[in-house]
Amino acid sequence: MTLTHGTWEPRPATRWEDGFLSGNGHHGILLFGEPNDERVVVTHHTLVRPNGAEHARPPHLADRLPALQDSLLAGDLHAAESFTDGRELQWVQPFHPAFQIRLRTTPDAFNRPGAPGYRRSVDFTTGVTETAYEGHRSRVFVSRADDVIVQHVVGRDLDITLDHRLPGAPAGLAVGNGAVLVPEGALLTLRVRYPGSETAYTGATLIVATGGRTQLTPPGVRVSGADSVLLLTRVARHTGEPDTEPLTRALRDLFLDAKDLDTGNSDANDLHANDPHANDPHADDPYTHLLNRHTTLHRTAYTRVTLDLHADPAERALPGSELLTHPDSPALLERLFAAGRYHLLSASGLLPPRLTGLWTGEWDTAWSGAFTNDANLNLQTASAASAGLPEVTEALASLIHGQLDDWAENARTVFGARGVVAPAHTDGESGLSYHFSREYPLHLWTAGADWLLKPLVDHDETRGARDPRTAAALAEVARFYEDFLSRTDGEGQLVVVPSYSPENRPANGSWGAIDAAMDLSAARHALLTAADYHPGPDADRWRALADRLPPHRVNSDGALAEWAHPGLDDSYDHRHLSHLYGVWPLDEITPYDTPELAAAAHRALELRGAENDSAHGHLHHALIAARLRDGDRVAHALGQVLKGDFFHNSLMSAHYPNRDVYNADAAHTLPAVLVETLVQSTPDRLVLLPALPATYPEGELLGVRSRFGAVLDLTWSPNEATVRLRPTRSRRVELRTSAGAEPLDLVAGEDRVLTLRAW
């Protein structure tokens, strides 16, 4: 591990928020605690607590929609406030941790805070988190190959328990512990049933000691005198009485399989050849082999893209907590870029990252730890296509395609339409629109399906092949617009009514309005993209419908208006920038093709306030500024986050300044911001160094994927830039720099190297 590709601390993490993270997109772990009481908090994407939302349905409002449209078009700016069935706000099922694996030892002179040699670290290239001090070493990772939490401990005698008692755990949990000896060692189980529910989850840990003695100390196990201890852990959510046998049998089989690799039943030599711990005398072979199987997958993904800003080696060597006090340091940006990609990859698998990624140390997660679709999810996954993480895009696709039936129900019951409408919030189980209120009429948001599918379209463009699942979903979005876009203005243009700009309202109106800029951009993009995926009569009809949508409006301040409908005034001080959807992530508004609209969008960005200083607002601002070639504004937005104490020592982030509310938005979005300042692409265009902040005047960005099918390596300095393109398909694209535009012909399989002296 180089210090760019990992982080470390010289002190224990006494707050769970500072605990180092590992995950495989299914299970996650959060490692913290004092040396004599080490804790591994176990999480799983499926763990959401029943709160009534599991039975919630979208409101049946379709028969009232025409009357609402009439009222809004007649000038009743508050008509949508009563477009509800009268329910109270229902939050989605909240995400929560499973339990903590507690490893207690007897305190002595060497395992106290600040003891000589104490160090905890995480290696981004392997996902291994480690705590070490004199006489003790504990390593844990979450296997992407075997979907198991693997912990290896060398050192003192251990008391091991599975403990569900984490902050905010609700009263009334039905909890059962089990501890039994098995031929391999011991098994601990923990069964937790939610209050008033048939839903439960079960965790199991297999404990295998090398040497020493293992004895039951219910509800835990004591291991004494061992050379090392291996722990394998899994969690399963279920309904009804649990049968722990399949879970525990799978762990025992996995251990025996890994153990057999050292007995000649597999090619152990090949595995050891790639093993970063192969020369470690304390590494048990099962641990080594499990790590190898995982590392093959994890490292391949993580190392596809790297960023080197030629930082000071002395700053690179600093612990993360100290490096965070150097907000202008290129070394900090290097490490946050690496950590952001690591955490994003680790949180993505079964599902994409939640508001908290895949981690939390308490049951009371803010905003239910949900997938917030109207901004946060797409911001967090913004780098997936360009920064070489198709695993993240596939996780997003899993969420979307698993919920399309629910999206169809939203379209039917709320709008009386065919096709699909995405919810603004989801717990990962339900895709139904039931989370809304008067102040947040999220059931009126119709742009969500296009917004969520856009990263899947980018992924298709990057790899040069169209996923039939994406094609089918786009067709459903287009069918919704065919039914929903039924009203016109006096000039025959279509009107989007009702229309909602998350999570804002006009200064002189209410939340449900007409012709929100995001809705116009989304409808136009969805119809045209669906047409591209489905040539034929449907495509002709969808393109004709898109042509009838009204244009964006420029208001009296010279800014692109958040609502194109005349008479609706802008509310500038807001954290969301939904009205600039056409700039980012779409290519509808660019300085090259639509310079007047781009200037209006830039004016809108200048006028936008930060409201409550949410991290996602600052970095969304930076992404849009990068598309508009404003490096100074990018640098300012980045500075608000880097200087605002948004990052915990774990390099996971917070939602608000001063590390308030654990939240992955800043951590996961920052890599996308840095990529966008250096390289932007469309299927027909390459833009180099469009918004380079002065804070990183030189460096290398290697392995970036373009939407025209080339892998790109960029090296830059104050006087020169070199780009190497490795195209996978032949194409002519437009090369854009500050010097202008020129055609660039690429041939599949033939590298192309360009040297630039102005950008």
Q: Give tens-digit pLDDT for 732-742.
A: 999 999 889 99
- What is the predicted pLDDT for the residue at 240? 81
Residues 666-678, mean pLDDT to the nearest whole number: 98
Give the DSSP letter string of 23-58.
Answer: E-SSEEEEEEEETTEEEEEEEETT-B--SSGGG---
Burial class from Cβ neighbours inside 10 Å (0-12, 13-18, 19+) for residue 416 reads: middle
In a domain, 689, yes or no: no
Please say if the pLDDT value at position 177 is more than 80: yes
Domain assignment present for 55: no
Q: Is 707 inside a domain boundary? A: yes
Specify the pairing of strand 731-737 against strand 185-193.
unpaired
Give the CATH number for residue 419: 1.50.10.10
Regarding whether 268 and 258 lie in a shared domain, the answer is yes
Domain identity same for 603 and 717: no
Please choose, from the candidates 34, 44, 45, the residue with its C-alpha nearest in 3D space to the C-alpha of residue 12: 34
- Residue 22 clears pLDDT 90, i.e. is over it: yes
Q: What is the mean pLDDT of the chain?
A: 94
**pLDDT digits 0-9 by tens, 182-212:** 999 999 999 999 999 999 999 999 999 999 9
- Structural domain contains residue 428: yes
- What is the Cα–Cα distance from 462 to 468, expressed in whole angstroms? 15
Instruction: Check pLDDT > 50 for residue 587.
Output: yes
Tell me the pLDDT tens digit for each residue of 62-93.
999 999 999 999 999 999 999 999 999 999 99
Same domain, 293 and 357: no
Q: Is residue 317 part of a domain?
A: no
Q: What's the pLDDT tens digit per position in 599-609?
A: 999 999 999 99
Residue 270: the pLDDT is 37
85 and 157 assigned to the same domain: no
Domain edge (last residue) among 655, 682, 709: 682
- Give the domain range for residue 711: 701-756
The mean per-residue pLDDT over the stretch 347-375 comes to: 97
Summarize pLDDT for 717-736 with one digit per residue, the tens. 999 999 999 999 999 999 99
Separation CA 255–CA 185 (nearest Å): 11
Element (H, E) at 68: helix 65-73
Judge if 453 and 419 occupy the same domain. Answer: yes
* 310, part of any domain: no
- 691 within domain boundaries: no
pLDDT (mean) for 572-594: 97
Q: Is residue 110 assigned to a domain?
A: yes
pLDDT score, position 269: 35
Say yes or no to pLDDT of 271 above 60: no
pLDDT reported for residue 290 = 97
Instruction: Indicate if 282 and 253 belong to the same structural domain.
Output: yes
Q: Are residues 439 and 492 in the same domain?
A: yes
Distance of CA 44 to the CA centre of its chain: 15
pLDDT at 673 over 80: yes
| Beta partners for residue 733, in sequence order | 744
Instruction: Report the helix count and the strand count for the chain, using DSSP H and E.
Output: 18, 31
The 10s digit of each residue's pLDDT in 610-630 is 999 999 999 999 999 999 999
* Domain of residue 180, CATH code: 2.70.98.50
Domain boundary (274, 303, 332) is at 303
Say yes or no: 78 and 166 in one domain. no
DSSP state of 573: B
CA distance 675 to 672: 5
The predicted pLDDT at position 117 comes to 87
Amino acid at 459: H
Residue 152 contacts residue 141 (beta carbons within 8 Å): no
Domain match, 235 and 177 both: yes
pLDDT band at 758 (very low <50, low <70, confident <90, very high): low
| 35/58 Cα distance (integer angstroms) | 49
Same domain for 535 and 445: yes
pLDDT at 711: 98
Give the model's confidence band at 261: pLDDT under 50 very low, under 70 low, under 90 confident, else very high.
Answer: low
Which one of 682, 716, 737 terminates a domain? 682
**Rg over CA atoms, the chain:** 27
Q: In whole angstroms, how far apart are CA 246 and each of 20, 150, 193, 206, 253?
A: 30, 18, 18, 13, 10
What pLDDT is recorded for position 490?
A: 83
Q: How many separate domains does the chain show?
A: 3
Q: Stretch 647-675: mean pLDDT, rounded?
A: 98
Which of 5, 45, 128 has its CA nearest to residue 353?
45
Query: For residues 407, 413, 414 and 420, what is the CA-based torsion angle, rounded to 10 degrees?
Result: 30
Same domain, 277 and 378: no
The structure tokens listed for 193 are 């049933």
Residues 287 and 338 in one domain: no
| Residue 106: pLDDT over 80 | no
